[in-house]
Amino acid sequence: MRMLTNVDLIALDAQAVRASVELADRIRPDDLSRPTPCLGWTVYGLLAHMATQHHGFAAASRGDGDLARWKTRSLGDDPVASHRASAEDVLAAFAVDGVLERTFPLPEFDSSFPGAQAITFHFVDYVVHSWDLAKALGVEIEFPPDVLDAALTVAKAVPDGEMRLAPGAPFAPAVPWSGGSRLDEIVSILGRSPNWPS
């Protein structure tokens, strides 16, 4: 995957994460069972996935490669608060000096990655998951141009093809994009229909 250069990766990632938190803060109990563009996941399932990923990446940034850190856990009595706490965990972990130069053990990929590359994975995931959550809730989301520029660069570098059909693949195969916003282009490259749910 192409590395982003001449950008503040930590700041970009934080913007994407905070966007998802702001959206999640709108969730009401009745929203938790809504479907999302993530096949098979409800809003609750998406929140649980995001919380797990945040805690997993935070642990990896500290050199902790224990697969148990990536196990989906209950969000308890207040799923929104649990999600918010997980976001605060990863934002604090990524704000530590030198994090981009660390090695992140990512057991989901059965490998380790340079910090900058691992945070790039996290960044593009949270641009897309923010879109997923906005679509599920029926609201609009907008990102600043620098976030979209960086996310589009990353999305175009993600390999496409049959590997995206494998169980557990992070993205489905790309879908046709007939024009629209840059965010629509990003999500279509990464396997979401900009016109979801139609």
Q: What's the confidence (pLDDT) of residue 170?
A: 76
Q: What's the confidence (pLDDT) of residue 121?
A: 94
Tokens 């965990």 belong to: 89
Q: What's the confidence (pLDDT) of residue 167?
A: 78
Map out the domains of the chain as residue ranges. 9-189
Q: What's the confidence (pLDDT) of residue 3?
A: 57
Q: What is the rounded CA–CA span in Å between residue 34 and residue 41?
A: 9
Q: What is the rounded CA–CA span in Å between residue 28 and residue 31?
A: 5
Tokens 């897309």 belong to: 128
Interior/surface letters 143-155, b for 16+ CB within 10 angstroms, e for the rest: beeebbebbbbbb
Tokens of 192: 């979401």
Q: What's the confidence (pLDDT) of residue 182?
A: 94
Which residues of the chain register pLDDT less than 70?
A: 1-7
Q: What's the confidence (pLDDT) of residue 5?
A: 56
CATH no. for 9-189: 1.20.120.450
Q: What's the confidence (pLDDT) of residue 108?
A: 77
**115-131 tens-digit pLDDT:** 999 999 999 999 999 99
pTM: 0.92
